[in-house]
Chain A
Amino acid sequence: MADDTRKPMFNRLAALVAGPFLLGREAVSLAFRPDKDGPPETPPKLTPSRITVTPPEHAIKRRG
């Protein structure tokens, strides 16, 4: 009984929250098109986060 009366209320609440949210999302997507989400060929995830830097072999430095 109680559930029956509450349901539309929830719907209304949901609409109240979802409406602005969807509108906002629309506004955001208008300003920032989805096709800009980073270069498609980003480096593979498997690569280590740190790269080992080694000094060159046989090279002669000028100064430092």
Chain B
Amino acid sequence: MKTRLPEHGPLETPRFWRTLEERIETPEAQQAAHDEFLPGAIPPSFNMGPDYNDVHGLPPQSGVSRRDFLGLVSAAAALAATVACDRKGQGTVVPYTKRPVEVIPGVANYYASAHQEGRRVYPVLVKTREGRPIHLTGNDEHPGVKGKTSPRTMADVLRLYDPDRLRAPKASGRVVSWAEAEGHLHAALTGAKAAGKPVLLISGAVASPSRKALLADLKTALPTLEHLAYEPAAGDAVEVAALASFGQAVDLQPRLAKAKVILSLGADFLNGEDPEALGAWGAKRRLKSAQESINRLWVLEGPLTLTGTNADERVPVSPSRLGAMAFALAKELAGKGVALPAGTDLSGVSTGAPAEIPQATWASLVKDLKAAGRQAVVLCGAQMPAEVHQAAHLLNAMLGSEAVAAIPAEPLATVKELETAVQGMAAGRFAAVLFWDVNPAYTFPQAAAWKDAVAKVPVRAWIGQVEDETAAQCQLLLPENHWLESWGDFSTPSAAVLQQPTIGTLYDTRQGEDVLLDVLKALGAAVPDGYHAYLQARWKKELPFGTSFEQALHDGLVKGEAKASAPSFKGASVAAAAKRAAASRAEGLELVLFPGFATHDGRHANNSWLQETPDPISKMTWDNPVAVSVQDAKALGIEEGDLVNLSLDGITLKLPAVIQPGQAQGVLALALGYGRTTGGVAKGMGVNAFPLVGLEPASTHVRSGARLAKAGGKKTLSRTQSHHRMEGRDLVRSLTMDEFAHDPQGHHHRPELVTLYEEQRFPDHKWGMVIDLAACVGCSACMVACQSENNVATVGPEQVARGREMHWIRIDRYYEGELENPKVVHQPMLCQHCDNAPCENVCPVNATNHSAEGLNQMAYNRCVGTRYCANNCPYKVRRFNFLEYTAFKTEPETLVYNPEVTVRPRGIMEKCSFCVQRINDGKIRAKGEGRAILDGEITTACMAGCPSDAIVFGDLKDPKSKVSQLVAATRAYRVLEELGVKPAITYLADLKNPALEGGHHEA
């Protein structure tokens, strides 16, 4: 095609001309005529832009040749043919006939919104694609969370697409219209108002000012309304202690950035729930040199918590003794001259170190706290008995701690108040009951009594998403929007946060507030039409001058410190608490009930992402075995996975046991939120521990007198890690501050790596990652972020038990030292993108290979699944689709997929891609704007999701990039470097700051 026609003869032959210029024979015209049919015949001006390399690494092309054109035409025809057909039964793919203004196919939209779990508020940024929310991160504008959020919040996007969601209202088991359903409700409520009979409303914690106002409006319109805000996982002791110590409900917010010494009394503030605390923790731990200041974490706790694994000094103590120890600490400090708050009487407290703690440790703790003064903070676990909370309040008051803020909060109902309500219901006091986003039929400890009592209420209405145990007891089921379909607002200490829908409702659902507004209307109140209008009307009044509601929605928040005065500590409350604490002794085994890492109080139990995210300590998925201490297991002859009978107060649960190193002797730990009886995912996973929750508000979640006996039989544990020791291998390096200062590389020598081959060259970029083990707490937020970003499949408990989980990133957790109180280290493990990757050369079909930017990439459609690569991967980070985990999924489940990442079918290998879709997105963006890629512009999902900023990703070719600088840090090392595989991930050794030896004493 490049051959030209033979030159025609002289000018005498008939000539035709196309343009006047040609006729006149200007040189340009001649040239143009000459070039017309040559490949790449385009005006030079088309080709004058800066010569940025194409994304695919191809040289810039100057136009389209006929060959290319024909290729494109045939490809387009083929594509048209393939697009026309698709998977059976899923209908035809058609483009938008009326494209929504907001949606540009292929371009992600981001919305700021917010989510609430208990009292905690999570401002988030929602990524939507083609109108579907697919990925959540924290709102980067929020001064507290700084773009981070919790694992459960990130996973909650999956709940939007839960196929079990109720899609239309139901009345007495029949699908009805909203008008009919609400008609029933309105009739019942107006009737109750007329008759003056009480109506019970049970909801979760109220953290929203507008919701609070709405409830107040409702109370005005319906004076017989009784409202209980119930959070079953929170632990009532917090409320009881706050009332005693401050005279009001408070929400304690740690300010760890200001803390030098932290004492945790069973507080698990590093478990991922609190991104703000994790951010501050990470900032204090990511040390460049030993001269920088580091904090010190003391942990006294019964069960081993994630916080306990990150402690610099940890002492296992049963929770019943924590109160006494804390008061003894207060007395000791007072004896050393720390002033007691007015009215405090500690005369009942014995002096000296408690028996549970070694003398030297105790002395060091006292010294540390006293030296840190206002920069010391004492945090108490929510489940701990009330007197421990009171002791913590006292200690913080004594120290005048700046590192914790007590913020007045809406009170929560305790189990006692719920019990009163049950009695009221049983007595037929209530005309109607309305459950809003709560599931007391499951969470109330006495389920049978609850069921009988509820049955005596004439009208029972339920607002929620998935029909649950409570819905089964109600006649009126009102399906609620997911929070990503709803409006709302929340107050946080540093900003007011707005919640807006990021998608239109998927089904015929409404948000709970809209239902209540309709109730208000039916009761004759004048209210705006819909909660959006209600919210807008309130906010128009509240917004600071110069800020529009639209701007606030755009940002997702309005900055400004909450103006609430800190409540003062009541010293007089101490004496009684100290007395109770001194008397507190556990008879038999002591059971600690804590909210499940994945399920919380059971509300997330239907979320397969969370169910399959292993508990950071036990590495259990899909189940809640009872954790037994090493000593007790030995005494009772219990082995890992043995079925046991756990009995307390006449209730016996049969469940598997796991042996938990580091757990205090005599302590059992069991997660709440499992054993649901409804929900396609949740049903039958684990056992329900709520029947074991106590009815005494001062200590609902710590119960003494538990009995444990072998029940015979074993259960195969769905655990993602079954070997817990490092076997003396140099995998996770951990340094004390002394070692960091003097000998950061220790006895480890850098292996001399010799190769016969030429060094690989990376012309443009070389992507790399640094993971700071000192900042990583093991919260597993990265796992959920990755799961959401990369369409990682869940496989179910049986498959996890066989070791077939699909997570691209996992957290390896190792125990070191004696099992009674081991040192614990966490190590995120993902594809190391080795330059000399052992997986690449063994693939017979070249399905995995190295990119010119140092990425170890997988061509899924080329993979035939020999699995050799996985065998040859020293890090075992490759995941194989042993069975078909994805193809049978239908909408709505498929709506959560990230369209930029291939959904992998069975029989192929997959693994971390360093979020190559994000890399390409960044490159395209930079190219479009005609600039180089900025450092930090491209983030992997794990990096963006890491609340303590332990993960840094970037270009190693850029010497100024953060990642390049960290690679050269003294703490840097590579895992299994001696194999010569040249991993692209560098780890920075963990840091511990022990008080007794090897730490910084000035801390």
Which residues of A does B touch, CB under 8 Å? 36, 39-43, 47, 49-64
Confirm or deny: B419 has a beta carbon within 8 angstroms of a beta carbon on chain A: no
Complex Cα–Cα for A55 and B502 (A): 7
Contacts A39-B680, A59-B553 given; does A53 touch B109 at CB 8 Å: no
Enumerate chain A residues within 8 angstroms of B501, measured Cβ to Cβ.
56-57, 59
- Would A41 and B125 count as touching, CB distance under 8 A? no
Enumerate chain A residues within 8 angstroms of B959, measured Cβ to Cβ.
none
Confirm or deny: B49 has a beta carbon within 8 angstroms of a beta carbon on chain A: no
18 A–B pairs (Cβ distance < 8 Å), ordered by A: A40-B683, A43-B680, A49-B90, A49-B890, A50-B91, A50-B891, A51-B506, A53-B132, A55-B101, A55-B102, A55-B103, A56-B485, A56-B500, A56-B501, A62-B112, A63-B109, A64-B107, A64-B108
A61 to nearest B CB, angstroms? 5
Complex Cα–Cα for A28 and B310 (A): 46
Complex Cα–Cα for A28 and B91 (A): 34
- Would A50 and B90 count as touching, CB distance under 8 A? yes
Enumerate chain A residues within 8 angstroms of B101, measured Cβ to Cβ.
55
- Closest B residue to A42 by beta carbon equals B680
Complex Cα–Cα for A36 and B501 (A): 37
Complex Cα–Cα for A61 and B556 (A): 10
Query: Is chain A's binding surface mostly helix, strand, loop or mixed?
Result: loop
Most chain B beta-carbon contacts within 10 A, residue among A41, A47, A52, A56:
A56
- Would B504 and A64 count as touching, CB distance under 8 A? no
Complex Cα–Cα for A18 and B50 (A): 73
- Closest B residue to A60 by beta carbon equals B553
Specify which of B91, B111, B164, B892 is in contact with A61 (CB 8 Å cutoff): B111
- Closest A residue to B549 by beta carbon equals A60
Complex Cα–Cα for A51 and B102 (A): 19
Enumerate chain A residues within 8 angstroms of B90, measured Cβ to Cβ.
49-50
Enumerate chain B residues within 8 angstroms of A53, measured Cβ to Cβ.
130-132, 503-504, 506, 895
- Closest A residue to B892 by beta carbon equals A51
Enumerate chain A residues within 8 angstroms of B43, measured Cβ to Cβ.
none
Complex Cα–Cα for A47 and B161 (A): 14
Of residues 875 through 900 on chain B, the ones whose CB sits less than 8 Å from some CB of chain A are 890-892, 895
Complex Cα–Cα for A36 and B795 (A): 12
Q: Known pairs A41-B680, A56-B503; list 11 more (Cβ under 8 Å).
A: A36-B798, A39-B683, A43-B164, A49-B90, A54-B504, A59-B111, A60-B553, A60-B554, A62-B110, A64-B109, A64-B110
Complex Cα–Cα for A51 and B893 (A): 10
Enumerate chain A residues within 8 angstroms of B554, measured Cβ to Cβ.
60-62
Confirm or deny: B641 has a beta carbon within 8 angstroms of a beta carbon on chain A: no
A41 to nearest B CB, angstroms? 5
- Would A54 and B550 count as touching, CB distance under 8 A? no
Confirm or deny: B163 has a beta carbon within 8 angstroms of a beta carbon on chain A: yes
- Would A56 and B556 count as touching, CB distance under 8 A? no
Enumerate chain A residues within 8 angstroms of B798, measured Cβ to Cβ.
36
Specify which of A42, A56, A63 is in contact with B504 (CB 8 Å cutoff): A56
- Would A57 and B110 count as touching, CB distance under 8 A? no
Map CB proximity to A onto B75-117 as digits: 1 under 8 Å, 0 otherwise: 0000000000000011100000000111110011111100000
A52 to nearest B CB, angstroms? 8
Contacts A49-B890, A61-B111 given; does A54 touch B500 at CB 8 Å: no
- Closest A residue to B163 by beta carbon equals A43
Complex Cα–Cα for A51 and B162 (A): 13
Of residues 111 through 136 on chain B, the ones whose CB sits less than 8 Å from some CB of chain A are 111-112, 125, 128, 130-132
- Would A61 and B503 count as touching, CB distance under 8 A? no
Enumerate chain B residues within 8 angstroms of A59, measured Cβ to Cβ.
111, 500-502, 553
Contacts A49-B89, A54-B131 given; does A63 touch B163 at CB 8 Å: no
Enumerate chain A residues within 8 angstroms of B681, measured Cβ to Cβ.
39
Complex Cα–Cα for A57 and B511 (A): 14
Confirm or deny: B678 has a beta carbon within 8 angstroms of a beta carbon on chain A: yes
A63 to nearest B CB, angstroms? 5
Complex Cα–Cα for A36 and B680 (A): 12
Enumerate chain B residues within 8 angstroms of A58, measured Cβ to Cβ.
500, 532
Enumerate chain A residues within 8 angstroms of B559, measured Cβ to Cβ.
none
Complex Cα–Cα for A59 and B256 (A): 35
Specify which of A40, A50, A55, A63 is in contact with B110 (CB 8 Å cutoff): A63
Most chain B beta-carbon contacts within 10 A, residue among A49, A60, A64:
A60
Complex Cα–Cα for A50 and B892 (A): 8
Confirm or deny: B424 has a beta carbon within 8 angstroms of a beta carbon on chain A: no
Closest 7 CB pairs of A and B: A54-B504, A64-B109, A39-B680, A56-B501, A60-B553, A62-B110, A43-B163
Complex Cα–Cα for A27 and B569 (A): 69
Confirm or deny: B411 has a beta carbon within 8 angstroms of a beta carbon on chain A: no
- Would B91 and A54 count as touching, CB distance under 8 A? no
Confirm or deny: B167 has a beta carbon within 8 angstroms of a beta carbon on chain A: yes
- Closest A residue to B101 by beta carbon equals A55
A58 to nearest B CB, angstroms? 6
- Would B100 and A54 count as touching, CB distance under 8 A? yes
- Closest A residue to B484 by beta carbon equals A56
B557 to nearest A CB, angstroms? 11
Specify which of B107, B500, B680, B891 is in contact with A49 (CB 8 Å cutoff): B891
- Closest A residue to B498 by beta carbon equals A60
- Closest B residue to A47 by beta carbon equals B167
Enumerate chain A residues within 8 angstroms of B112, measured Cβ to Cβ.
62
A64 to nearest B CB, angstroms? 3
Most chain B beta-carbon contacts within 10 A, residue among A36, A47, A50, A59:
A59
Enumerate chain B residues within 8 angstroms of A42, measured Cβ to Cβ.
163, 680
Map CB proximity to A onto B673-689 as digits: 1 under 8 Å, 0 otherwise: 00000111101000000
Complex Cα–Cα for A19 and B681 (A): 38
Complex Cα–Cα for A36 and B799 (A): 11
Complex Cα–Cα for A43 and B506 (A): 15
Enumerate chain A residues within 8 angstroms of B892, measured Cβ to Cβ.
51
B612 to nearest A CB, angstroms? 15
- Would A56 and B683 count as touching, CB distance under 8 A? no
Enumerate chain B residues within 8 angstroms of A40, measured Cβ to Cβ.
680, 683
Specify which of B132, B503, B678 is in contact with A41 (CB 8 Å cutoff): B678
Enumerate chain A residues within 8 angstroms of B503, measured Cβ to Cβ.
53-56
Complex Cα–Cα for A61 and B108 (A): 10
A29 to nearest B CB, angstroms? 15
B128 to nearest A CB, angstroms? 8
Enumerate chain A residues within 8 angstroms of B502, measured Cβ to Cβ.
56, 59
Complex Cα–Cα for A64 and B110 (A): 6
Complex Cα–Cα for A52 and B101 (A): 16
Enumerate chain A residues within 8 angstroms of B111, measured Cβ to Cβ.
56, 59-62
Enumerate chain A residues within 8 angstroms of B91, measured Cβ to Cβ.
49-50
- Would B504 and A55 count as touching, CB distance under 8 A? yes
Complex Cα–Cα for A39 and B553 (A): 39
Contacts A51-B506, A53-B895, A61-B110 given; does A41 touch B679 at CB 8 Å: yes
Complex Cα–Cα for A61 and B129 (A): 12
Complex Cα–Cα for A36 and B506 (A): 30
Complex Cα–Cα for A43 and B111 (A): 30
Map CB proximity to A onto B162-189 as digits: 1 under 8 Å, 0 otherwise: 0110010000000000000000000000
Complex Cα–Cα for A19 and B109 (A): 60
B113 to nearest A CB, angstroms? 8
Complex Cα–Cα for A52 and B504 (A): 9
Contacts A49-B891, A50-B91, A61-B110 given; does A55 touch B131 at CB 8 Å: yes
- Closest B residue to A32 by beta carbon equals B798
A40 to nearest B CB, angstroms? 7
Enumerate chain B residues within 8 angstroms of A43, measured Cβ to Cβ.
163-164, 680
- Closest B residue to A44 by beta carbon equals B167
